[in-house]
Amino acid sequence: MFFGITDIWTYVIGAFLIVLLPGPNSLFVLSTAAQRGVRDAYRAAAGVFIGDSVLMFASAAGAASLLMSNELVFTIVKYAGAAYLAYIGLSMIWGAWRARAVTGEVETPALSPDPFRKALVISLLNPKAILFFVSFFIQFVDHTYAAPALSFLILGAILQVFSVLYLSALIFGGTFLAGQFRQRKVLSAGLTTAVGAVFVGFGAKLATTSL
């Protein structure tokens, strides 16, 4: 046992695979990288890191228990998150094709000037993430350990290291793709529309989930 963690290598493998799963956070960072470049993409990534850290702290502090025991609170947060994801997706679709129709060029009006704030909201308005964190972490923490908070801190740090590496790969991959598509305006508009549709799908999926 390592600082109250029962099976750290199983956790490391599981955390690595979980980080690789596609979700609204990683897709938003990738889209920001492709449309606005490395600097803004890392601002978005910082929003994801802080949002996930808040959720992990809230899980360790018992916020997940509140969501699981109070269906009204869970429903409010769930629909707020679903509506926000759908709004982002529809804004991307509308912005890409409106700019194309008016100017003949694909612009990027759909992304906020503050990608950090938008990524942070995306992270925080996800009640399923809180439930996931607590259900995943709890499997690897020995509750007889004198300082379980330290165990949660180590588990969270491992997950965030993988997240930093993965989002960095997406950021530089996104800027590379941007260079490839910059001269292909119609293809760029189609790709932005597809990404927007995926965000709408994320929102619909969240809206239909239950405790």
- In degrees, rounded to 5, the angle at the alpha carbon of residue 106 between the alpha carbons of residues 101 and 98 is 35
Mean pLDDT across the chain: 76
The residue extents of the domains of the chain are 8-207
Could you tell me how many helices (H) and strands (E) the chain has, helices first? 9, 0
Kindly indicate the confidence band of residue 128, based on its pLDDT and cuts at 50, 70 and 90: low
pLDDT at 134: 65
Asked if 55 and 124 count as a contact pair (C-beta separation under 8 A), the reply is yes
Summarised one tens digit per residue, pLDDT across range 162-211 is 999 999 998 988 777 666 665 566 656 666 677 778 778 877 876 776 65
Q: What burial class does residue 179 get, using C-beta atoms within 10 Å of its C-beta: 0-12 exposed, 13-18 middle, 19+ buried?
A: exposed
Which alpha helices (H) appear in 104-147, and where do they start and end?
Answer: 115-124, 127-137
- Report how far Cα 100 is from the mean position of its chain's Cα atoms: 28
Condensed to tens digits (0 to 9), the pLDDT of residues 45-81 reads 999 999 988 888 877 776 556 666 677 777 777 787 7
Q: Please tell me the predicted confidence (pLDDT) of residue 108.
A: 46
What phi, psi does 202 have (nearest 5°)? -60, -45
Distances from the Cα of 190 to the Cα of 94, 182, 196, 199, angstroms? 11, 13, 10, 14
Q: Are 55 and 130 in contact (CB under 8 A)?
A: yes
Q: Which has more confidence, 180 or 5?
A: 5
The confidence score (pLDDT) of residue 186 equals 60
Residue 182 neighbours by CB under 8 Å, 6+ apart? 188
Q: What confidence score (pLDDT) does residue 180 get?
A: 60
What pLDDT is stored for residue 110 in this prediction? 47
pLDDT score for 35: 80
Residue 45, both tokens: 């990534």
pLDDT of 87 over the 50 cut: yes
User: Could you tell me if 11 and 155 are in contact, meaning their C-beta atoms sit under 8 angstroms apart?
Assistant: yes
Tell which residue, 83, 173, 64, 85, has the closest CA to residue 128.
64
| Mean pLDDT across 100-129 | 68
Q: Stretch 143-164: mean pLDDT, rounded? A: 83
Which runs of consecutive H residues, i.e. helices, occur in 70-184? Answer: 71-103, 115-124, 127-137, 148-181
Burial class (CB in 10 A: 0-12, 13-18, 19+), 102: exposed
